[in-house]
Structure 1
Amino acid sequence: MTLIPVAYLSSYLLSMLGNSIAGIALPLIVLGVTGSAMGAGWVAAATAVPAVVAGLVMGVVIDRINRRTSSIVTDAVSAASVAALPLVDLVSGLSLGWFILFGIIGSLGDVPGLTARDALLAAVVRHGGITAERLLGMRESLGAIALLLGPAAAGTLMVLLDGSTVLWLTAATSMAAALLTLLIPHEVGTITPSEEAEATTGASSGWAQLRAGWRALFRSPFLVSTTVLSLVAVVALAGYQGLVLPVHVTLVGRPGLLGFVLSALAGGMLVGGAIYVVVGSRGRRRTWFLATMLGTTVGFAALAALPSGGLLLAGAFVLGLSSGLFGALLGVLMVERIPEQMRGRIMGTQNAMLTAAAPVGIVAAAALTEYVSLDVAAAVLAGAWLVGLGVGVFARALRNLEPASERGTDEETAVVSGA
């Protein structure tokens, strides 16, 4: 493997690890400073909307400037916003307002940063001497490793270090991710749109280019189908992970089981990504896709039954395994089917929607649990996934997932390009 994919994957791992640690440590620090559980809720609510808006509009910027530069800048913004908190704590002490202010600033780098890395994938494949299947499989596995290590690292650091000091280390991971991205040659991130693209979008305003990206997304049956599928999966998984499972293990008197369930989920994702690295390029993609649909259905069904012990762990592992395979396969398809000049806008819109989908799943599960019952909440989330299963199995746009050379014509690219 050459330097380019190594730098890309290392940067991705550090960025994800920093986010994973901050996701655990920051709410605890807010709680310690404010003494109010609602404080953490206000911080989360205040940062969610800017993150979604930034994801929607920053895609235009990512499509206009070097993707490597975009990734570096967004990581630096995230690092600076996190590092500012312990600095303020040293100077004057923290309050809820400081958490909200720097949370909003940091959110402006989160979704755009994810989008910039996604948009850079195709160039890493071209210049890095690596197949898309191998790159995406490794990326899924590294993301799972970050999910496994992050909570444990956060818990350990919170014990060893005082208060906001932990955030120096999370800021350091984001800055290290930015520095590693510097190892990728500048020309890898250069955007060279086709003459047709320059004629149609090059001189347009930012708003016009943003609308062009939205039209390309919503007029493509393939992109609409995969986006709906991803949204349903995120809503269901967030509902289980963020509310149903914590409430369930508390009610059965085994709160410590939640950590093992989440570890089983991340472990499954790690194995799924590793499998795709080794054998993802073999066999028909439609077969791989249907296998992930079946595995995800089995996993959600197991969680919906609200078992305890081994069955719950097995269901989480199967769900994670299928998610790892699905994420890698979907990433390969995005690399192939989204035109270079529109990657920022299309992927930015998708990432913004997925960011908003997670709290929707948690709020829906909370409302159902509060006003109906936990069993109903679990069943409704599983039922929501059945909508995604129907899209995956029956959507015409998802019947042929092979490369363009095997499909004969690349109709999806023509649709996305606006032809």
Structure 2
Amino acid sequence: MDRSVVVYLTSYGFSSLGNSVAAVVLPLVVLATTGSPLDAGIVAAATAGPAVLSGLFMGGLIDRFDRRTMSIVTDLVAAAGIAALPIVDLVSELSLGWFVLFGIVASFGDVPGLTAREPLVPGVQRRSGIGFERIVGLRESVGAVTMMVGPAVAAALVVTLDGPGALWVTSALALVAALTTLALPRDVGARVADTPSEPPRRAAAQVVAGMVWLARRSPLVRAVTVVNLLLVTVLVAVQGLLLPVHFTVLGQEGRLGLVLTSLAGGMLVGSAAYAMASARLRRRTWLSLSLVGSLVGIGVIGALPGIGWIFAGAALVGLFGGALGALFGVVMIETIPDDLRGRVMSAQNALFTLSPAVGILGAAVLVEYASLETAGAVVIGVWFVAVVAALVLRPLRRIDASAGGA
């Protein structure tokens, strides 16, 4: 395999692993330091807004400057924000204010980092000659692996090291990601030579340009974004509230983590299958199989059966969702113009960053004022609506017309 592909996937893996570990370690360190679950929630809420805004405004910079450089910078910012906490612990005493402050600093690297790494794919493809389907499929497989091992790594760090020690390791993962990206050939991050450069404009205008293109210019990208947003919101609600409550009722809280492992394992297989066999089926066929298969899986989970059935449902959702995610990723890369890719993907990632709050809050309201079973039925219903919409929307019915980068 070409060196640029290996370096890109390695960098993506370290960055994703760092995010996965941080998502578990940081709340646990906050809880251990302040002793308040509410403080952990405050830190999460305080960092969400800046993460979205920084991701939106970073899109314009990504479209104007070298994407390789911007990816390195965002990983360094994330590493510095996390590393600042154990440094403060050495000279002072950590408090809620410090966690909020440096959590916000680190958030300036999270969503922007995700956005900066996406536009590198065309450069990697040009350098390696490997099709988009294979690169994106392998990338999604790497993401599934980090999703599986991240919580285990985080748990091991918290058990074997004190809080500041675990944060040092978390910061180091982001630093290694930045250093790995530095090993990419310089031309990988360059803009397409024949893409006209836009004159510099105010940051707000850059953000609006991405949103306007997403809303008006491409029916296919708009349809993919809406469907993906619905599915992600539902999945977050299932993982973040529906299943935790269900497992608590069953008295099996300790097995909840295995569901995530089952989901990630399915994603690994599904994305790898798409990477290796994407050319054997039409995109429309991949889309239909993935949507229907994931609907069966979410139907099993939403029925809130026994633990074994939930594991099976999670594996199905991961399997077909992994292939679907890889397909959608390829479509985005092929359809969004190079000079707008950062801004459009920033707008998409901002929506996906907000979706956890919407999904979990919606599920919480249903459980609180209706019942757990009602929430499960709504989960199935929303997923069904997303699947039907994806199957009947005209842009997605013509998804094979987008195939041009394989």
State the secondary structure of the residue aligned to 2:237. Answer: helix
TM-superposed deviation, 1:372: 1.4
CA contact (8 A) 2:331 2:402 kept: no
Aligned pair in 2 of structure 1 residues 355, 184: CA closer, same or farther (>3 Å)? same
| Rounded Cα–Cα distance in structure 2 between residues aligned with 1:231 and 1:194 | 32
Q: Distance in 2 between matches of 1:22 and 1:206?
A: 29
How far the C-alpha of 1:331 sits from its partner, in A, is 1.0
Structure 2 counterpart of 1:410? none
Residues 193 and 341, structure 1, Cα contact 8 Å, conserved in 2: no
User: 352, 356, 364: which is aligned to 2:354?
Assistant: 356
Match of 2:297 among 299, 305, 322: 299
- The Cα of 1:403 is off from its aligned counterpart by 5.2
Which residue is 2:165 aligned to?
165
Shift of 1:386: 2.0
Partner amino acid, structure 2, of 1:213: G
Gaps of 5+ in 2: none
In structure 2, distance between residues paired with 1:406 and 1:182: 29
Equivalent pair of 1:225/1:397 in contact (CA under 8 Å): yes
1:297 and 1:404 map into 2 onto residues whose CA distance is: 25
Counterpart in 2 of 1:347? 345
1:277 and 1:225 mapped to 2: Cα distance? 23
In 2: Cα distance, 1:405 partner to 1:260 partner: 37
1:39 aligns with 2:39: yes
CA distance in 1, matches of 2:181, 2:348: 23
**In structure 1, what is the Cα distance between the partners aligned to 2:114 and 2:150?**
18
User: Is the deviation greater in 253-262 or in 355-364?
Assistant: 253-262
The equivalences for 1:9-408 within 5 A come to 9-192=9-192, 194=194, 197-198=196-197, 201-219=198-216, 220-402=218-400, 404=402
1:321-376 Cα offsets, whole Å, 9 max, x none, are 11110111111111111111010000010011001011110111111111211111
C-alpha deviation, 1:405, in angstroms: 7.0
Measured at CA, do residues 9 and 403 of structure 1 come closer, stay the same or move farther in structure 2, by a change above 3 Å? farther
The 1:275–1:181 alpha-carbon spacing in structure 2 relative to 1, beyond 3 Å, is same
Contact 1:59 1:346 in 2 (8 A): yes
**CA contact under 8 A between 2:334 and 2:404: conserved in structure 1?**
no
Q: Tell me how far apart the structure 2 counterparts of residues 363 and 139 of structure 1 sit (CA, whole Å).
A: 30
Tell me which amino acid in the other structure corresponds to 1:278.
Answer: M
Cα separation, 2, equivalents of 1:12 and 1:277: 16
Cα distance in 1 for residues equivalent to 2:300 and 2:168: 40
Q: Contact 1:79–1:172 (CA<8 Å) still a contact in 2? A: yes
For residue 301 of structure 2, what is the amino acid of its counterpart? L
Residue 10 of structure 1 contacts residue 180 of structure 1 at CA under 8 Å; is this kept in 2?
Answer: yes
Deviation per CA, 1:103-155: give whole Å up to 9, x if none: 11111111010000011111111112321111111111111110111111111
What is the CA-CA distance between 1:165 and the residue it aligns to?
Answer: 0.9
Residue 204 (structure 1) shift: 4.1
Aligned mates of 2:161, 2:83 — CA distance in 1 = 15
Deviations along 1:214-272, one digit per CA (max 9) or x if unpaired, are 22111121111111111101110000000000110110111122111111101000111
Which stretch shifts more, 365-374 or 43-52?
Answer: 365-374
Give the residue type in structure 2 aligned to 1:46. A
Letter in 1 for 2:349: N
* Distance across 2 between alignment mates of 1:116 and 1:141: 19
User: Is the 8 Å Cα contact of residues 70 and 116 (structure 1) preserved in structure 2?
Assistant: yes
SS at match of 2:359: helix
> C-alpha distance in 2, partners of 1:27/1:209?
34
What TM-score comes out, normalization by structure 2 length? 0.96
Cα deviation for residue 210 of structure 1 reads 2.8
Unaligned runs of 5+ in 1: 408-419
- Aligned residue for 2:130, secondary structure, equals coil
Q: Which amino acid aligns with 1:318?
A: L
Query: Is 1:4–1:128's contact at 8 Å kept on the other side of the alignment?
Result: yes
Code of the residue aligned with 2:319 in structure 1: it is L
2:119 aligns to what SS in structure 1?
Answer: helix
Q: Distance in 1 between matches of 2:126 and 2:403?
A: 17
Whichever residue aligns with residue 68 of structure 2, its letter is R
Identify the range of structure 1 (33-42 vs 363-372) with the bigger mean alpha-carbon deviation: 363-372
Instruction: Output one character per residue of 1:302-339: Cα deviation in whole Å (capped at 9) or x when no partner.
Output: 11100112211110000001111011111111111111
Aligned equivalents of 1:281 and 1:38: distance in 2? 49
1-structure distance, mates of 2:109, 2:257:
29
Once the two structures are TM-superposed, the CA of residue 406 in structure 1 deviates from its matched residue by: 7.3
Q: Distance in 2 between matches of 1:239 and 1:107?
A: 22
| Alpha carbons 2:123, 2:187 under 8 Å: kept | no
1: CA distance, partners of 2:284 / 2:402? 14
- Counterpart code for 2:381: G
Residue 192 (structure 1) shift: 3.7
Instruction: Supply the RMSD in Å over aligned alpha carbons.
Output: 1.5
One-letter amino acid of the counterpart of residue 308, structure 2:
G
Pairwise CA distance, 1:205: 3.8
Judged with a 3 Å threshold, the aligned counterparts in structure 2 of structure 1 residues 47 and 406 are, in CA distance, closer, same or farther, namely: closer
Cα pair 1:336 1:403 within 8 Å, conserved: no
Superposed displacement of residue 40, structure 1: 0.4
